[in-house]
Amino acid sequence: MARLDEHTSLIVVKEGSKLHIKIYYSRDGIKRYKTKVYVKDKAQFTKDKGFKKNNALNPSSFQDDKKKLDELQLKIETIIEDFEREHLVKPTAAQLDSLLTNFKGKSQKSYTYISDYLSEYTSGFDEKPRNSKSVVRALDSALTQFWAYKNRQYYFNEIDEKFIGDFIDFLLFYKPKRLSDNIIVAKPKHRLSEPVSFDAHFGMNNNTLLKRLDALRSFIKWVINEKKLSTDYNNIKDALRKSIRDYNLTEYSNVEFAFREMSEVRLLASNNFEDSIKDDYYPELIDSVEKLKGVSRDVLIRAKDYFLVSVLTGNRVSDLRAIKKHHIGLGKQTAKKTKGQFLLNSNESVVKLLQKHNFDMNMSDSKYNKCIKVFLKQFYRDFLKQEDKLVYITERRGKYEQVKQVVYFNLASSHSGRRSFATIAYHSGTKTKRSIMQFTGHTSEKEFDKYIQLAPEEDIKDFADLMSI
C-alpha cells in the first residue's frame, strides 16, 4: 500500500509573490510537481513538517486544499510503488513524468505493457497477405524472446534510448534461433576479438536487424496514433536513429547462390541427375541441439522440380504456390506480395514440370530450403564432382565483421531460383533489365541491380580476362 512521503516529499517554492507547495521527487533527475496549494510562510511549513491550517494562504479552503494535496501525492506514490514492484527499482524522474502523464485513475492501470498493444497489433494482421504477416510475427517473436531474456515486461512509455539499445544488443548477439519464444537456453559463444567468430545459433546480422527495427517503428507509430497516446514519437525516432548510428548498423551485400549459365540448369534438370538422387539427411536444430533428419528421394526430386520451375519462371516462392492452369494460358500472374502483374514463362519445359506434380507446388519454406541444399550437394559433389567450390562471405553485426569461406551450394535458398533467372538472363547479354523485370516483378532498376550482383569473384575473373594485354 502506497504511503505519503514514502518516495516523495513536499517542498515550498517561491513563485512571484506566492509560496507554492510542490511534490519533490529525485532519481537520475529532479521533478517538482505543481499542486496549486499555497502557504503564508516557508519557515513555518518546515517547522510544522507539512501543510497546516494556520499556515494556509486561504484557511477557509484548507480541507479542500489538503485533500487535493494528499490525493496528488498519493497518486504519485502509487505509481512509484507499482513501478518498483514490477522492476525492482524506482522509476527515473523522466520515467515518472511519463507515467504520470499517462495515468488514467484507479479504475484502470496507470500504464500499459508493450505486450498488451502488441497482441492487438498482431491480431490485426491475421487476415493480411503472408508477407505482411510474417514481418509482424517476426517482431512479435523478437520482442517476446527479449522479455523472456530480461525476465520482465516493459511498459510502452519505457521505450527510450536505453530500451532500444538493450533490444538491439539482444538481437545482435543473444536471440536464440529456431527456439520457442519462451525458452532461453545456454550462452552464446561469440568471439568478438580478431578473428571475429559468431555463434550461428544466436543473434542476427545487420540487414535482418534493420528490418526488425523498421517493423518496431511501424508498431510504435500505430500505437501512438491508434491509442491517442501523448508519447512524443519524435523522441523515439531520434533514439532509434542514434542507436542505429551508435551500433554502426549499416546494410551490406554478400555473395548469393545463383546459376549463371543455362547449361548448368539443364544438367540439374537432366534424367541422369534425377536417376542419381538418393535418400539423404539434413541438419535440424531441436532444442539448441543439431540433429540429422532423413529426407526421401521422392521429396528431394519434388524440391528439385520446384526449384527448376522457379529458375525457369523467375517467380517468388509465394507465387510458385499460386500457379494454376489458367495462368499458363494467360502468360501472366498477379504477385502475392505486391499485387502487381508480371509475365509468366509458360513454355513446354515449365508445363511439363508443373504437370509432373499436378500443379501442386506446396512445400513448407523451412523444408524446401533444407532440401535445396541437399539436392544441390548431391548435384555438385556426386554428379558434377565439384564439391570444392568455395567462396568468401562476410557477416556484420554492429561494428563486428566475420569473414569465412563456405561451400558455394550451401548459400542456396528458396530465393536462388528467382536470382538464377535474373542472373542468367542478364549475363546472356541479349535481354534488357526492363524486359527481365517484367518476369521477376522488380519495380526499380536499383533493386534489380542488387539482385544480380551475386558472384563478384567471377566478375573479377571475367574482367581480368577481358582487360589483359
Query: Of 204, 221, 246, at which residue does a domain stop?
Result: 246
Do 61 and 149 have their domain in common? no
Do 29 and 71 have their domain in common? yes
Tens digit of each residue's pLDDT, the chain (469 residues): 678 888 999 999 999 899 999 999 999 889 999 999 999 999 999 999 999 999 999 999 999 999 999 999 999 998 898 788 767 788 899 889 888 877 655 444 444 789 889 988 998 887 666 556 788 999 999 999 999 899 888 889 889 999 999 999 999 999 998 654 444 556 899 999 989 999 988 999 999 999 999 999 999 999 999 888 888 999 999 999 999 999 999 999 888 899 989 999 999 999 999 999 999 999 887 766 778 999 999 999 999 999 999 999 988 888 888 888 888 878 888 877 778 888 888 889 999 998 998 888 788 888 999 999 999 999 999 888 887 788 899 999 999 999 999 999 999 999 999 999 999 998 887 888 888 888 888 888 888 887 775 555 666 677 777 777 7
Quick check: is 107 in a domain?
Answer: no
Quick check: is 43 in a domain?
Answer: yes
Quick check: is 152 in a domain?
Answer: yes
Q: What confidence score (pLDDT) does residue 107 get?
A: 42
Q: Model pTM?
A: 0.64
Do 75 and 183 have their domain in common? no
Q: What confidence score (pLDDT) does residue 108 get?
A: 41
Query: Of 101, 136, 164, at which residue does a domain stop?
Result: 101
Quick check: is 2 in a domain?
Answer: no
Quick check: is 256 in a domain?
Answer: no
3-state secondary structure string across 74-89: HHHHHHHHHHHHHHCC
Do 359 and 432 have their domain in common? yes
Q: What confidence score (pLDDT) does residue 183 get?
A: 46
Number of domain units in the chain:
3
Do 268 and 237 have their domain in common? no
Supply the CATH number for residue 394's domain: 1.10.443
Quick check: is 289 in a domain?
Answer: yes
Do 305 and 402 have their domain in common? yes
Domain that holds residue 72: 9-101
Do 381 and 354 have their domain in common? yes
Do 409 and 435 have their domain in common? yes
Quick check: is 253 in a domain?
Answer: no
Q: What confidence score (pLDDT) does residue 106 get?
A: 46
Do 356 and 385 have their domain in common? yes
Quick check: is 406 in a domain?
Answer: yes
Do 374 and 276 have their domain in common? yes
Do 391 and 319 have their domain in common? yes
